[in-house]
Structure 1
């Protein structure tokens, strides 16, 4: 169990690093610089955050394990209220945070938690069915509503967010990480948390399955895009083909969810293996500790990291080289802070707040 938990902490740290890299790139409008570095940063878009949400689902399963295995209705209700409290706190913090960082994921996270509070007692197969239903609801919504409404794609700005209609659309349909379909990462993570991944054979099967799914999905849609582009007299423009048949984060169509979910599982299984193989090394232990402060460091990378860059006039219109260097410095500082903090305290600052609120 120890290695299983530390493996998740390691994955959480890597997910955090990926989100820092992506968010610094977006905030700095880093569109110039070395092509390799640009491709590397672009590769992480929508992948690191998917892993982050999937790990939240795993965490909810651990949090609710006693209730799931109990017939005590009082315990189930107490656990449900605890998850709801965490969700509401995330919604409040996220909404307060949104004026500072429009691409905030925390208020979405809160709604995922509220949804999880309703379904955590469901059986494993039901969680998989719910995951698939959530994924398929999104393209239906695209047929019924205008996905591009309220968006300014040039600046990646979402207009009318604070109106009732705008907020509902943003949270559930066309925001940065809408409930439909992003909650699917959480529900799959809840299923994943119930699997005994301390068994090597189970990990191997899951890894091979995720790898095959990722390769098949990426190759299929790559050839589909090329075929449609090469077809003469196509009713769609090249931009429309890319928009509808890419595996990128916008829009989060089923092929993106499958691809990003598969890559998240691969990283997670790799982290579980590494936590066993290199459990005694210093760097691995430091990363475990960093993962334990992921919520605190997520907030800090906006307020402290981007705040400092803005104060010295280096937040906008930077190269990808400078963006990645800034992300690297922040991540290294985050690791150092985590190691020092956990020498004196059991949990991170914001993690403590959540623990107290959810009592």
Structure 2
């Protein structure tokens, strides 16, 4: 499989669009407006970022493929050093970025890369087993540690982040995308990247399996919550029922991880099918170009997108209608910028800088 797969770039573009929708909604505290649009925005919460992390795992497979196939110690060493460099750089950039945008995923990304530097040579079965273990460790941690510590749920702000205890908890356990269990998405992505996704039979198997698991999880937990009701029979509060039996990103319980991974596989495989069928279309080219600038656009949607809205006094307490409209404008501008930029340069500005620093 060519290491630059157009379908993956399209999936990156869609993941960025989804993250823009979610983050604009959070930043604007958009909790009023059209119920239909609110439901639409809710579809992307915890899903777009999962696609992003799984695609990073696929990218790591391509980066380390020569080392894995050859088992040459020199290639393995170079791949490991490259992953560590990239991880440390992402941690550095992410921590610089966190004061501007507390829900940053880049510093978490960096720690995922450090984990990948240890496990990228493991076989497929071990990768899936490690993914499952990481997912299952999280609810065990919840039994011993207070998941809500340092969280101000009223303002959705993580306090005491810059303390040692706060940072360790944030990164490992109760931040926006903690290692336990989010690193499982990356290891799963490494496994997924090793599958021959050029084969229709492989795609169909993954697509069918993901659809079945997604439907089963969503339906099962819908009826579980319905049967429990307000939780009185189990001596639980309604908030506790919603907390423990939800399929939302907070907390990232196993049911969320399975559901989000399933929807991510559906998205990625769907993008591969789209790329095959519409490879000559302009929208295909535009989305591919946008996906190639995913890092640049991720940083820009906060610094430029939200920065401009804040300058205009339009960032806080907006309706979901305005939030989605703003996200749409940014995404369209992102596509236009990507297409124009790549006419003159081979890589996006931050992508180029990242490769230079991590090489």
Residue of structure 1 in register with 2:124 after alignment: 124
TM-score using structure 1 length: 0.98
Query: Secondary structure of the residue that 1:257 maps to in structure 2?
Result: helix
Residue of structure 2 in register with 1:356 after alignment: 356
Query: Secondary structure of the residue that 1:233 maps to in structure 2?
Result: helix
Q: CA deviation at 1:4?
A: 7.3
Cα separation, 2, equivalents of 1:301 and 1:4: 24
Residue of structure 2 in register with 1:75 after alignment: 75
Q: CA deviation at 1:237?
A: 1.1
Cα separation, 2, equivalents of 1:158 and 1:3: 38
Structure 1's 232 and 243: CA in aligned 2 closer, same or farther, altered over 3 A?
Answer: closer
Cα separation, 2, equivalents of 1:213 and 1:192: 16
Q: CA deviation at 1:230?
A: 6.4
Q: CA deviation at 1:357?
A: 1.8
Query: Secondary structure of the residue that 2:234 maps to in structure 1?
Result: coil
Listed one character per residue, the Cα deviations across residues 67-94 of structure 1 (whole Å, up to 9, x for unaligned) are 1111321111111000100000000000
In the TM superposition, 1:1-359 aligns within 5 A as: 1=1, 5-229=5-229, 233-359=233-359
Cα separation, 2, equivalents of 1:60 and 1:230: 44
Cα separation, 2, equivalents of 1:126 and 1:53: 19
Listed one character per residue, the Cα deviations across residues 198-253 of structure 1 (whole Å, up to 9, x for unaligned) are 00011001000000000000000110111111675321111100100010110000
TM-score using structure 2 length: 0.98
Cα separation, 2, equivalents of 1:22 and 1:231: 30
Listed one character per residue, the Cα deviations across residues 113-157 of structure 1 (whole Å, up to 9, x for unaligned) are 000011000001110001000000100100010000000001110
Question: 1:4–1:198: 8 Å Cα contact kept in structure 2?
Answer: no
Question: 1:22–1:41: 8 Å Cα contact kept in structure 2?
Answer: yes
Cα separation, 2, equivalents of 1:267 and 1:74: 36
Cα separation, 2, equivalents of 1:175 and 1:230: 28
Q: CA deviation at 1:10?
A: 0.4
Cα separation, 2, equivalents of 1:248 and 1:230: 18
Question: 2:230–2:238: 8 Å Cα contact kept in structure 1?
Answer: no
Query: Secondary structure of the residue that 1:247 maps to in structure 2?
Result: coil
Cα separation, 2, equivalents of 1:358 and 1:254: 33
Listed one character per residue, the Cα deviations across residues 290-324 of structure 1 (whole Å, up to 9, x for unaligned) are 00000000000000000000000000000101100
Cα separation, 2, equivalents of 1:163 and 1:256: 29
Cα separation, 2, equivalents of 1:12 and 1:77: 28
Cα separation, 1, equivalents of 2:75 and 2:260: 35
Question: 1:108–1:177: 8 Å Cα contact kept in structure 2?
Answer: yes
Q: CA deviation at 1:9?
A: 0.3
Question: 1:112–1:179: 8 Å Cα contact kept in structure 2?
Answer: yes
Alignment length, in residue pairs?
Answer: 359
Cα separation, 2, equivalents of 1:218 and 1:239: 19
Listed one character per residue, the Cα deviations across residues 134-192 of structure 1 (whole Å, up to 9, x for unaligned) are 00010010001000000000111001100000000000000000000001111000000
Cα separation, 2, equivalents of 1:2 and 1:338: 22
Query: Secondary structure of the residue that 2:70 maps to in structure 1?
Result: coil
Question: 2:15–2:51: 8 Å Cα contact kept in structure 1?
Answer: yes
The answer for unaligned runs of 5 or more in structure 1 is none
Cα separation, 2, equivalents of 1:267 and 1:148: 31
Cα separation, 2, equivalents of 1:232 and 1:162: 39
Listed one character per residue, the Cα deviations across residues 14-58 of structure 1 (whole Å, up to 9, x for unaligned) are 000000000000000001111110000011100000000000000
